[in-house]
């Protein structure tokens, strides 16, 4: 098996809070990535259908505010229910083009009642099968006003050629224990997805790479004032306080030595390509392997609960 894996980083803006149109844009980028011989394409955090930028501009923490209730309802209506086969067209494209996909979605989880939404990272393999749906463990700051906290069920890795790939959402990447869970499963290609900012990606991407001696791909989205659709509820109120640029990208790749392979790309929409050489993982693990020869499980050990959490359990 060849050592090399060609990857594509899809640094794009969503058709904000419009799941049908955003899916179409995702499909276009999958097709283009496949046409350019990519074997894995990665999209940013919550890209489908978009990040909740309004919370910072509409008194998001104000109790019982009608504006926030109405925008939230619009958000939930445009979230994805995986069980309802809303990702089928994307899965089909992955299978047809033999390309794996990591995709950040807002998930309206049926197994939690179908009304709360989770920031989820979905892995679709090259056979078009959904192999994991990782719900973000801890929403960050104002995200907690619209996203529910997830669980450990999606802390999984997947074989992709010689690589073992896993991923986390945004500030989860700063959490040492979830990272360690993936390392312990053999991860050597780490996917970090973000709403979009080089402020987030410029340090942690290289740090994780150096800590784990793995390749790290950070993928961010873009968002400017003009990306808000005209049918967005309370658009004028959102735009009143919104800056010109809310997400400037910052997608990048670090190698297993912690050095840049692709430095953060700013304010540029499109696909970013790079070919990874698996042998670099073995080279860098020679002197440090965080869960292998440089670990002491007799002294420190991590326990993971991967049970999918639910409020009710039925025994018929």
Q: Give the domains, in start order, of the chain with CATH numbers.
A: 4-285 (3.60.110.10)
pLDDT digits (tens, 9 = 90+) for 244-285: 999 999 999 999 999 999 999 999 999 999 999 999 999 999
DSSP state of 232: S
Q: CA–CA separation, 35 vs 37, rounded Å?
A: 5
pTM of the entire structure? 0.96
Q: What's phi and psi for 245, nearest 5 deg?
A: -125, 125
Burial environment of residue 187 by CB neighbours within 10 A (0 to 12, 13 to 18, 19 or more): buried
**Helical spans, DSSP H, in 213-315:** 235-241, 279-285
Task: Report d(CA 184, CA 11) in Å as an integer.
Answer: 29
The whole-angstrom separation of Cα 29 and Cα 10 is 7
Element (H, E) at 97: helix 88-97
Question: 74 burial class (0-12, 13-18, 19+ CB within 10 angstroms)?
Answer: middle
Rounded CA-CA distance 105/91 in Å is: 14
189 pLDDT more than 90: yes
Residue appearing with tokens 């960050």: 140
Residue 194 pLDDT: 98
Query: For 301, what's the count of Cα atoms within 13 Å in the CB-facing half-sphere?
Result: 4
**How crowded is residue 110: how many other Cβ atoms within 10 Å of its Cβ?**
11
Residues 48-107: tens digit of each pLDDT: 999 999 999 988 888 999 999 999 999 999 999 999 999 999 999 999 999 999 999 999
Tell me which H or E stretch contains 200.
Answer: helix 198-212
Q: Is 159 in contact with 185 (CB distance < 8 Å)?
A: no
The residues that are catalytic are 45, 136, 170
């Amino acid at each position: 098996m060849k050592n090399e894996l060609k990857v594509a980083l899809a640094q794009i803006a969503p058709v904000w809070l419009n799941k049908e149109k955003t899916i179409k844009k995702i499909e276009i980028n999958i097709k283009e990535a496949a046409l350019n011989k990519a074997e894995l394409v990665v999209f940013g955090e919550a890209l489908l259908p978009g990040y909740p930028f309004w919370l910072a501009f509409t008194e998001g923490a104000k109790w019982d505010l009608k504006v926030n209730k109405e925008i939230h309802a619009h958000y939930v209506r445009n979230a994805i229910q995986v069980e309802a086969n809303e990702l089928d067209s994307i899965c089909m494209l992955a299978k047809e083009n033999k390309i794996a996909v990591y995709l950040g979605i807002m998930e309206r989880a049926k197994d939690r009642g179908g009304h709360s939404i989770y920031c989820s990272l979905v892995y679709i393999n090259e056979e078009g099968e959904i192999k994991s749906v990782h719900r973000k463990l801890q929403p960050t700051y104002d995200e907690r006003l619209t996203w529910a906290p997830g669980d450990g069920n999606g802390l999984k890795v997947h074989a992709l050629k010689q690589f073992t790939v896993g991923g986390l959402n945004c500030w989860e990447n700063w959490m040492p224990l979830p990272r360690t869970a993936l390392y312990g499963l053999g991860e050597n290609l780490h996917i970090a997805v973000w709403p979009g900012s080089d402020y987030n990606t410029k340090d942690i991407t290289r740090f994780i790479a150096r800590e784990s001696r793995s390749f790290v791909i950070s993928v961010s989205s873009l968002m400017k004032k003009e990306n808000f659709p005209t049918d967005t509820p309370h658009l004028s109120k959102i735009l009143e306080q919104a800056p010109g640029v809310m997400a400037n990208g910052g997608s990048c790749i670090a190698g297993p030595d912690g050095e840049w392979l692709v430095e953060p790309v700013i304010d540029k929409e499109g696909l970013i390509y790079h070919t990874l050489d698996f042998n670099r993982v073995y080279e860098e693990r020679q002197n440090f392997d965080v869960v292998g020869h440089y670990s002491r499980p007799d002294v420190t050990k991590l326990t993971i609960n991967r049970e999918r959490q639910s409020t009710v359990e039925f025994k018929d």
